[in-house]
Structure 1
């Protein structure tokens, strides 16, 4: 079967299609899935470019969606023909976080989904949202579930809350859609006025170009009645955290998700203490949380925003497009 692999040294020029043996029939407790879709994440780009080192010959892509072809003995949750989507942490089924690295994350510590078929434990998948195509389904594995956990699971979002989102990438646009569906009021930042207009079309209540307004955290706090917002989905990291603390209300919640501006830096501890805000790091979520998210998507009718779709054999081009920062929402891969 055809498989996309990443050869050493890592780099987009070393992504190549290879032939590998078919995984065969499912064994007890496993399912055989014909894969048809994926989506790109910042984490995937890090693996592909070598910033997150992985093994020579690794199959990339942490998101995978497709159709169950057959099931192994003892599997009752799925049947042939079911549409399924992968889990970012296939071993984290439920409860509190159990892993803090990517050693068992597809496309990083283990092979990912840039291939035609896999045979994996049934517990490494959930059912896809009803009516989603395979690329749409794949967007929930990493970006969608991250936004869901940040706002709903950890943040306890409720109608009437105010939310600040940074940028218009996959996590932030998912968070915008979730927050609006839950009855929240949303502010969002970007360096592109065109993207801010698109965000307004999705329901954003307040938009701000952070390149045109240096003190954007204070501006957002003023917009939120001077008290600050209830939730911040912080995808930037050290370069934006101080502004996020300025924007959040006393006793508010900041979900620390991204490292777009770097992996380390100063934390304005005095400001954070004065705000008495909860700064919580998170990496995606559990299988149970993904199942809850799927039910919410089916209840609300939310559909992901797909900026562009690329064929699998153009994966390097898709990553180059992601690296350019020109996308709004998710970048899809389909085959």
Structure 2
């Protein structure tokens, strides 16, 4: 295979930081040559996360300057280093969120290798990765579908398969219909749980029902949604909550979880401004005996475990809309609008 010598990539310009215009396309970048244990991947598709929007808006802590954004990508191996034995040209692969997180718990050293902020990411046509950081794509998925897996998919999997894994018959509460939440519905359904989904949109809740949600609650029409959750569970509360709101929803989540249940925090979509005091949160957790767990995506090992479930149940990620590589800013704007259900994807290459 003859490879080009020059490629294109997006970087987040310091000059435009604070708006989507910080996203800058560069067209004269040398294609990297894989050495030793690296594999060179032709990126076919990239999916967006809320983190990517925060980065261009200058709100993501610890991001390196002039970084290539995005953590999630799917593509094909086009060259390998001389020590690579696991992968060959033509293999369809995705890459883990942190190229250093192979197994076990997160560490500061692992976080330093997180793609798209701490380290250069995937919004580029060609990218070299350590061979141990890439993962095979399930056969039934397209590149666009597979590109949704590394962050949202693995985060939802890590939440539901953590220290006390979800089991059949458990109750799971999923907030919203973004990428992690949709994967949470799909995985929990496949694992035999009873699922409660919340959203501010009845149209989005219809999609949640189709994906496997057993009960749905519109939190705008039912602001005391935690009471509805308790009614559904006969006062017991749910076993697991995928908590995406943050401070503005955490007290309601604590009320909705069962005693000694799990709240898996993966975001703060409800904003940072809140009248809730830290003592109220810690006191509520204490007297409920609930476990509050922060999720920072997951490992290659967890990624491979998740893909086995995806393959066996033929789970298909929900892709809301696909934009072309030249339309990256439009993709970011669509993500910012929060009109999507599931994932927003950028198609980097189609041939």
Taking structure 1 as the reference length, the TM-score comes to 0.96
Q: How does 1:28-107 map to 2 (within 5 A)?
A: 28-52=36-60, 54-99=63-108, 102-107=111-116
Q: What is the deviation of 1:263?
A: 4.9
Matched, 1:191 2:204: no
Matched, 1:329 2:342: yes
Q: Which residue of 2 is the match for residue 295 of structure 1?
A: 308
Q: Which residue of 2 is the match for residue 137 of structure 1?
A: 146
User: How many residues end up aligned between the 2 structures?
Assistant: 335
Aligned residues of 1:155 and 1:231 also touching (Cα < 8 A): no
Matched, 1:266 2:277: yes
Q: How does 1:1-335 map to 2 (within 5 A)?
A: 1-9=7-15, 10=17, 11-52=19-60, 54-99=63-108, 102-263=111-272, 266-267=277-278, 268-335=281-348
Aligned residues of 1:238 and 1:266 also touching (Cα < 8 A): no
Q: What is the deviation of 1:24?
A: 3.6
> CA deviation digits over 1:97-146, x for unaligned, max 9?
22388532111111111111112211221111222111211111000000
Gaps of 5+ in 1: none
Further displaced range: 235-244 or 126-135 = 126-135
Aligned residues of 2:175 and 2:199 also touching (Cα < 8 A): yes
Gaps of 5+ in 2: 1-6
Distance 1:179 1:84 in 2: 25
Aligned residues of 1:233 and 1:255 also touching (Cα < 8 A): yes
Which ranges of 4 or more aligned residues in structure 1 deviate by more than 6 Å?
none
SS in 1 for 2:248: coil
